[in-house]
Amino acid sequence: MLDSRPDGTSRREVRANIVAVAARLLHDAGPAAVTTRAVAQAAGVQAPTIYRLFGDKDGLLDAVAEQVFATYVAEKSLVAGTGDPLEDLHRGWHAHIGFGLANPALFGLLTDPARGTRSPAAAAGLEVLRARVHRVAEIGRLRVTERRAIDLIHAAGTGVVLTLLAAAPADRDLEVSDAMYDTVMRAILTDVPALADDGPIAAAVAFRTVVPELELLTDHERALLSEWLDRAARG
């Protein structure tokens, strides 16, 4: 159980306070400042409380990432989609870049390969990207496979943030972000919906999105059709 709180603070409140304290330490002083002892002292709890709530320091940092990003997204009104898959993809790109620049220490931790397994917060972000890319594929606008599109967007977005963070704030060329986005879009998008101009690769990508819904086919047939379409989409 958690250490007793004479003021009657609930478990949820204790957890939220610890996350807020860790986020403040990370923002103000960087990753080295986020030690279990420092967070516990600043939050007014015993160190074992942090382990019981978060497992370890990485678990605490993942909770910080989820909270900070959720707050950022809510403040930027990026939660609801616009109904336009291409616009939603563009908004998602700007959210990714903006979050990285506003939270350099946290972004560095989330993209650090030395941490080993990908954090739940980073994985959740990729799931959002996958869903947005899938909607673009559904309207026939992808000229590459969904996986290739996701990998290109993710790699480019991460690279842009790290490149900009490497420069002093006054020296950052923010137009690099728009230029990179345009470059990636030219590589993955068709000019018009694939089914309108009979583009074979984009049509294969678009058709691939509905294969799981073809209930008349067996699981084996759907898997085989998916494999053929993936092969066609790779050109």
Listed range (83-97, 173-187, 214-228) with the worst mean pLDDT: 214-228
Residue 191's pLDDT is 78
pLDDT in tens, 44-60: 999 999 999 999 888 88
Does the structure show a pLDDT above 60 at 1? no
Average pLDDT on 211-218 reads 68
Average pLDDT on 22-40 reads 90
pLDDT band at 173 (very low <50, low <70, confident <90, very high): very high
Q: What is the CATH number of domain 1-55?
A: 1.10.10.60
Question: What ranges do the domains of the chain cover?
Answer: 1-55, 79-233
Residue 4's pLDDT is 44
pLDDT band at 126 (very low <50, low <70, confident <90, very high): confident
Sequence-distant (6+) residues with CB within 8 A of 116 are none
Q: Are 81 and 131 in contact (CB under 8 A)?
A: no
Residue 50's pLDDT is 93
